[in-house]
């Protein structure tokens, strides 16, 4: 969750880190290069309180100059404006730029302007002053403000990018992880070496004019100063490296945790956007991936409403040929009795509600046996067993599905009668034969369908249930594929519409 504390207080706390630079600069001119202030610079540089006060005045000027730039961030709008989003990505860089600008101004004022006014200006002296103020205090403070400011700003950045679309903002600087670490390593190595170099130069210069006793004091004083520089350098190196490493490792650990959750099926994960760098790109890419996975899962679940989960998974895995193949399958047709009179005498909303409830019960019986509901045609159901996923016992599956459909209809009718509604009746016809199965349709819309005489014969057998006064009829071909199962009573051979030969059918008791 983003930190909603005022932006101004955040900026003031970050800029307060410049006090660290003031202390570093004071320590530098007191212990590393004290003669720079003695021979021409302002004596206030040797006094930490006075130097701190002077620096705070400079910092206040810089803050007053930079404050208008931050104003759009205080009220970004809902949704955040393009200007606020762009400036949100620039905050660490602007903070660092304002800080460096303040230190450059301080270096010019104390290292050039003041000596000129005092009449003590020399290029060498001014260079030493500017180096101590801007080169040492300024650069260290700028690096500190940038990394600390960026770290603290990470809790606010998601407010401006609720969708995590940082890449949509073009033209903003990007401090990559490699460059970030390089900057840290340079500071860790460069600053201590520079201090040691200046210390060596200044003490060597003093030795040129010192007597033996003074020389011994100078050399003896080098040991604690060198130890101090080494200790502070090591502490700064460990602290800064740990800080930067944490700024890289923490968001990566969040991505790792989110990936583990996704691996276990939890798609409600989202990585918080923390930076405009490779880590931010990884988080943004992960969020897009999860959105795609959720969309794929929704499609998969929707597809599962048309077929059984097993068939769905086979099709999505590419193990089912949908371009068309000749297979042996068992086809089931079911049709409601007295449907038209009921529709004419019933409110249309009630018709749809009851019809959908009936289809739901029947589809559960079909899919429960691994069947596929091909289509609902008015009050009729067409289903297939053994395609698109092959099943050796497809005939037995179809018969068991018909028995379950009968039982479900009886239970559903019982509930309807208790509500004072009419009973439903249906007829089911089952036939096993060779069909052409595959995708059929136009270039823009396809459906999985069966083509062949066996489909027509299954529909005709379902029509026979009306005249025969039974609810389930099974063809002789289907009976031949059964290995035991429920008892079937033979019916006299009949001739169905569209066929010259008689068809052997059986009644399911």
Q: Across residues 125-130, what is the average pLDDT? A: 84
Q: Does residue 28 register a pLDDT over 80?
A: no
Report how far residue 89's alpha carbon sits from residue 163's, in angstroms, rounded to the nearest whole number: 15
Q: Kindly indicate the confidence band of residue 124, based on its pLDDT and cuts at 50, 70 and 90.
A: confident
| DSSP letters for 235-251 | HHHHHHHHHHHHHHHHH
End position of a domain, from candidates 107, 138, 168: 168
Q: Look at residues 459, 443, 366 and name the one whose alpha carbon lies nearest to residue 408.
A: 366
Domain count along the chain: 2
More confident residue, 388 or 273: 388
Locate 440 and state its tokens: 């059929």
Domain range enclosing 421: 320-508
Cα–Cα distance, 432 to 454 (Å, whole number):
7
Q: What is the pLDDT of residue 353?
A: 93
* Residue 234 domain-assigned (yes or no): no
Say whether pLDDT at 307 is over 80.
no
Query: Is there a cis peptide before residue 285, judged by omega within 30 degrees of 0?
Result: no
Determine the Cα–Cα distance for residues 383 and 508; give it in Å rounded to an integer.
Answer: 18
The answer to the question of residue 386 being in a domain is yes
Q: Is the pLDDT of residue 3 over 50?
A: no
pLDDT band (50, 70, 90) for residue 1: very low
- Residues 283 and 250: their CA atoms lie apart, in Å, by 12
The pLDDT mean for the chain works out to 81
328: helix, coil or strand? Answer: strand
CATH of the domain at 376: 3.30.70.1230
Half-sphere exposure of residue 472, counting CA atoms within 13 Å on the CB side? 20
Q: Does the pLDDT at position 6 exceed 70? A: no
Q: Is 370 within the bounds of a domain?
A: yes
Q: Give the pLDDT mean for 285-293.
A: 84
pLDDT digits (tens, 9 = 90+) for 345-375: 899 999 999 999 999 999 999 999 999 899 9
> pLDDT class for 454, splitting at 50, 70, 90?
very high
SS3 readout for 416-483:
HHHCCCCCCCEEEEEEEEEEEEEEEECCCCEEEEEECHHHHHHHHHHHHHHHHCCCEEEEHHHHHCCC
User: Which of 9-23, 93-107, 357-371 is predicted most confidently?
Assistant: 357-371
pLDDT band at 311 (very low <50, low <70, confident <90, very high): low
Percent of the chain with pLDDT over 70: 87
pLDDT at 417 over 80: yes
Rounded Cα gap, residues 68 and 298, in angstroms: 47
356 part of a folded domain: yes
pTM: 0.55
Q: Are 380 and 331 in contact (CB under 8 A)?
A: no
Place of tokens 């989960």: 309
Structure token digits, residue 293:
């996975």
**How much is the pLDDT for 25?**
76
247: in domain: no
pLDDT tens-place string over residues 483-497: 888 889 998 877 777
> What whole-number distance in Å separates Cα of residue 461 and Cα of residue 508?
13
Last residue of a domain, one of 168, 198, 229: 168
Which of 153-167, 266-280, 328-342 shows the highest mean pLDDT?
328-342
Q: Most confidently modeled of 168-177, 310-319, 465-474, 483-492?
A: 465-474
Choosing from 135, 168, 201, the residue where a domain stops is: 168
Strand-strand pairing, 426-441 and 372-377: unpaired
Specify if 286 maps to a domain.
no
Is residue 335 a part of any domain in this protein?
Answer: yes
**SS3 at position 489:** strand
Give the Cβ contact number of residue 232 at 10 Å. Answer: 15
Task: Summarize pLDDT for 46-73 with one digit per residue, the tens.
Answer: 455 655 666 677 677 777 877 788 888 8
* End-to-end C-alpha distance for the chain, whole angstroms: 65
Residue 258 maps to a domain:
no
């Amino acid at each position: 969750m983003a930190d909603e504390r005022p932006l101004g207080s955040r900026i003031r706390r970050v800029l307060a880190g410049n006090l660290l630079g003031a202390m570093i600069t004071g320590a530098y001119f007191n212990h590393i290069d004290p003669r720079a202030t003695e021979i021409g610079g302002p004596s206030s540089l040797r006094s930490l309180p006075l130097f701190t006060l002077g620096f705070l005045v400079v910092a206040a000027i810089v803050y007053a100059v930079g404050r208008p730039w931050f104003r759009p961030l205080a009220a970004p709008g809902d949704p955040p404006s393009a200007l606020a989003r762009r400036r949100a990505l620039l905050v660490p860089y602007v903070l660092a730029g304002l800080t460096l600008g303040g230190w450059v101004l301080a270096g010019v004022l104390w290292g050039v302007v003041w000596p000129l006014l005092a009449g003590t200006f020399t290029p060498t002296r001014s260079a030493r002053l500017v180096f101590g103020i801007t080169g040492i205090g300024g650069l260290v403070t700028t690096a500190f403000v940038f990394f600390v400011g960026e770290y603290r700003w990470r809790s606010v950045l998601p407010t401006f990018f609720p969708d995590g679309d940082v890449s949509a903002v073009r033209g903003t600087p990007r401090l990559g992880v490699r460059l970030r670490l390089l900057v840290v390593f340079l500071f860790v190595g460069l600053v201590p070496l520079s201090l040691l170099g200046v210390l060596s130069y200044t003490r060597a210069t003093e030795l040129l004019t010192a007597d033996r006793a003074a020389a011994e004091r100078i050399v003896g004083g080098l040991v604690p100063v060198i130890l101090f520089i080494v200790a502070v350098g090591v502490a700064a190196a460990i602290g800064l490296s740990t800080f930067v490493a944490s700024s890289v490792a923490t968001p990566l650990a969040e991505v790792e945790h989110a990936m583990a959750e996704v691996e276990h099926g939890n798609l409600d994960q989202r990585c918080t956007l923390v930076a405009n760098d490779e880590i931010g790109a990884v988080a943004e890419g992960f969020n897009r991936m999860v959105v795609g996975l959720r969309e794929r899962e929704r499609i998969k679940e929707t597809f599962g409403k048309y077929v059984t989960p097993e068939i769905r998974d086979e099709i999505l895995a590419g193990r089912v040929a949908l371009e068309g193949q000749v297979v042996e399958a068992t086809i089931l047709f079911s049709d409601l009795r007295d449907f038209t009179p009921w529709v004419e005498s019933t409110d249309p909303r009630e018709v749809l509600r009851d019809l959908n409830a009936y289809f739901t019960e029947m589809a559960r019986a079909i899919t429960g046996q691994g069947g596929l509901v091909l289509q609902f045609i008015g009050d009729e159901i067409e289903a297939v067993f053994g395609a698109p996923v092959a099943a050796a016992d497809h005939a037995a599956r179809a018969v068991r599905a018909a028995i379950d459909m009968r039982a479900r209809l009886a239970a559903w009718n019982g509930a309807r009668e208790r509500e004072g509604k009419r009973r439903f009746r249906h007829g089911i016809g089952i036939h096993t034969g060779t069909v052409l199965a595959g995708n059929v349709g136009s270039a823009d819309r396809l459906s999985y369908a069966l083509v062949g005489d066996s489909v027509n014969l299954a529909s005709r057998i379902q029509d026979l249930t009306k005249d025969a006064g039974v609810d389930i009829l099974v063809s002789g071909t289907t009976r031949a594929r059964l290995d035991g199962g429920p008892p079937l009573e033979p019916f006299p051979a009949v001739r169905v519409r569209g066929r010259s030969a008689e068809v052997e059918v059986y009644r399911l008791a």
